[in-house]
Amino acid sequence: MDRNFAHALALVLKSEGLWSDNPADPGGATMKGVTLTNFRRYVKADATKADLRKISDA
């Protein structure tokens, strides 16, 4: 499982590793494949875009 996770994470970060806040993207603000909506749901309910931009790779 850990080996699969590391491989999957590397693949995600390869294409989703940068900051994106494109108004045309229905996912909204996203950093490293994590949307602000999900970050608020699972990590910090009152998170800001600045908080999201600071997340680490793992």
Q: What is the pLDDT of residues 9-58, one digit of tens each?
A: 788 777 777 899 999 989 999 998 899 999 999 999 999 999 999 998 76
pTM for the full predicted model: 0.71
Full domain range(s) for residue 7:
2-53
Residue 58 placed within a domain: no
Neighbours of 36 (CB within 10 A): 19
Number of domains in the chain: 1
In-domain check, residue 35: yes
Q: Where are the beta strands (DSSP E) in 1-58?
A: 19-20, 30-31, 34-35
